[in-house]
Chains A and B, each alone.
Chain A
Amino acid sequence: MRIRLEAVSLQKAGNQPSENEDAYAPESAGASRGAGASGVAPFLAAVADGATESLFSGHWARLLAGAFARGEVPDAQGLLAVLPELQRQWHAHVGAKPLPWYAEEKLREGAFATLLGVRLSEQPTVDCSGTWEALAVGDSCLFQLRRGGLLRSFPWSSPPRSAPPRSSSPRMCTRTDAWAHR
């Protein structure tokens, strides 16, 4: 399986690059857990969109995307299992700073981010086929393109009318497919 990873991220209009609350992982295709080890190990990548309205949501988004890319989030149950440790890391990060009254108040609300993770697995016995599996929380979206056309999107087939509630449940999708490129 040949994989090329390219990440593109842009802050909102009027914001500084340092105010971009989006995150992705891994940094490069070679940094994915298992990639290149045997040729059949799954490739993991994730994006997370930190909510503009919450504080330190960029850090929370980086923790979520990183955990998925390291293989710590196998499925929805796995996400729930890893959350307490990620929350501890987030609190350790933000609690280390002296904060003004308004930041103290806002931190009580926590931070919010979407998560969209995809796992690509090659089938060693079947030529030219593989499986992708995706997990999504919130309104980030995966698009599968082939020859310039949209094959499938997940979890949204059309733009959501409004942002999903902060307590969205994770959604999973598994699909077996012939790869476009090998």
Chain B
Amino acid sequence: MAYSAEISRTNPACILILIDQSGSMEEPFSGSQRRKADGVADVTNRLLQNLVVRCAREEGIRDYFHLGVLGYGGEVGPAFRGPLAGRSLVPVSEIGHAPARLEERTREREDGMGGLVREKVRFPIWFESVANGATPMCQALGRATSLVGDWVRRYPDGFPPIVVNISDGQPTDGDPTAVASELRGLRTTDGEVLLLNVHLSAHAFTPIQFPSSDAGLPDAHARLLYGLSSRLTPGMLSAAREEGLQVGEGARGFVFNADIISLIKFLNIGTRPSNLR
């Protein structure tokens, strides 16, 4: 069965995040004062943190994942800051050991007796918000195709790479259909590369999450992104249902008009490792 390869240190998984850094990311998220660029940076750092923590063991961090973040706006390229600047796909152990900085934050957690306690935690930062320039999505997908192509040649039997594209606007460098199709056409023996798309909105529209057809989508841009997106794997379908979402068997890895909550949910579902060895 496809998408069932175990993720191990000899056959790690690859997750590549493409982040729109165009000028419009300065605008706030729907229903929020928060800039989209800041929200996406925070969610991306949180995702990296969660994946590092998931791979942490007594002896250190096991390299179950190689992770990358590509930004596209004024420039297209690797978006890590600090010691990892300029690196594309990096083993998760190196990511865990080399955040650009550690922020001290306060958070609340349940105390086990019905109350909440505030505690100080160290929050690692690898990726900072950027918002300038246009939306060269085709270039970003092309760069992703090159990186992921190298990856599948190196790990031909691994879990297929997952590419998550987060954007708030239409591509300014052409129609991405062909390059997205080339990217999705790359494969390991366990299945084709998965391309998931998140469209962020500054307007208070209800997010459309994991649609199974493009019939109810509001415009041509939404239908274009739907067409670029892979079908959810069985593991992702289960994860979506665990999150309380109603998803059909043909559901695509796509959310339109996402707010910050649906972005977090989407990444949890699209990048949850369920078969770590």
Contact = CB atoms under 8 A, between A and B. Distances in A.
Interface of A: 12-15, 18-19, 52-53, 55-56, 58, 100-106, 108
Contacts of A103: 56
B276 A52 contact: yes
B133 interface: no
B276 A18 contact: no
A105 B53 contact: yes
B58 A102 contact: no
A14 B276 CA distance: 12
Contacts of B54: 53
Nearest to B99: A101
Contact of B276 (A53, A55, A100): A53
A56 B277 contact: no
B277 A101 contact: no
Contacts of B277: 12-15, 52
Contacts of B59: 18-19
B8 A55 contact: no
B96 A102 contact: yes
B188 to A, nearest CB: 17
A116 B235 CA distance: 29
Interface of B: 8-10, 49, 52-54, 56-59, 61, 96-97, 99, 102, 109, 121-122, 124, 276-277
29 contacts: A13-B8, A13-B277, A14-B9, A14-B10, A14-B277, A15-B277, A18-B59, A19-B57, A52-B276, A52-B277, A53-B276, A55-B58, A58-B58, A100-B96, A100-B97, A101-B99, A101-B102, A101-B124, A102-B52, A102-B56, A102-B61, A102-B96, A103-B56, A104-B122, A105-B49, A105-B53, A105-B121, A106-B56, A108-B109
Contacts of A14: 8-10, 277
B244 to A, nearest CB: 16
A13 B9 CA distance: 10
A73 B80 CA distance: 51
Contacts of A52: 276-277
B53 A56 contact: no
A53 B61 CA distance: 12
Contacts of B102: 101
Contacts of A13: 8, 277
Given A52-B276, A55-B57, A101-B99, 7 more contacts: A13-B8, A14-B277, A15-B277, A102-B49, A102-B56, A104-B122, A105-B53
Contacts of A53: 54, 276
Given A104-B122, A108-B109, A56 B58 contact: yes
Contacts of B56: 55, 102-103, 105-106
A116 B214 CA distance: 50
A100 B97 CA distance: 9
A104 B120 CA distance: 11
Nearest to A58: B58
A105 B121 CA distance: 8
Contacts of B96: 100, 102
A106 B53 contact: yes
A102 B49 CA distance: 8
Of the listed residues A101, A103, A104, the one surrounded by the most CB atoms of chain B closer than 10 A to its CB is A101
A52 B276 CA distance: 8
Chain A CB count within 10 A is highest, among B58, B122, B277, for: B58
Nearest to B119: A108
A15 B59 CA distance: 12
Nearest to B10: A14
Contacts of A56: 58
Contacts of B49: 102, 105
A100 B61 CA distance: 11
Q: Which 10 A-B pairs have the closest CB atoms?
A: A101-B122, A102-B56, A106-B56, A106-B53, A14-B8, A105-B53, A102-B52, A102-B96, A102-B53, A14-B10
